[in-house]
Amino acid sequence: MIMHAVTFTFRPDTTPEQVRALAKELGTLPSLIPALRSYHFGADLRLRDGNADFAVVAVLADEEGVRAYLDHPEHVRVVETRVKPIVATRSAVQMAIAD
């Protein structure tokens, strides 16, 4: 199993409406992308200083699943229309996890 985790820091002019629209779009992906084993996303709870603003965590079976998720047309559309316009910085990691 592979966990793909992404964090975003939003641009200063990002509105709450844009963040809600992003979350709504992300919520559609699990039903559209069969490779996703689990999928979680949301705004940072602000429990610690210096955290990113938002995170997405996807669990996939293998490298093929990661590619299927990242290259899926709906994922690409969400990135292009909802993520890129509001994100100042992005960081990602893929790591092996136990089944």
Domain definitions of the chain by residue range = 2-96
DSSP 59: E
Whole-model pTM?
Answer: 0.94
Average pLDDT over residues 63-78: 98
CA distances from residue 78 to 48, 60, 75, 94 in whole angstroms, order as listed: 28, 19, 5, 20
Query: Of 60, 36, 51, which is closest to residue 89 (Cα–Cα)?
Result: 51
pLDDT of residue 3: 98
pLDDT of residue 99: 74
Note the CATH architecture for domain 2-96: 2-Layer Sandwich (3.30)
Average pLDDT over residues 63-67: 98
Count of C-beta atoms within a 10 Å radius of residue 97 = 8
d(CA 88, CA 65): 27
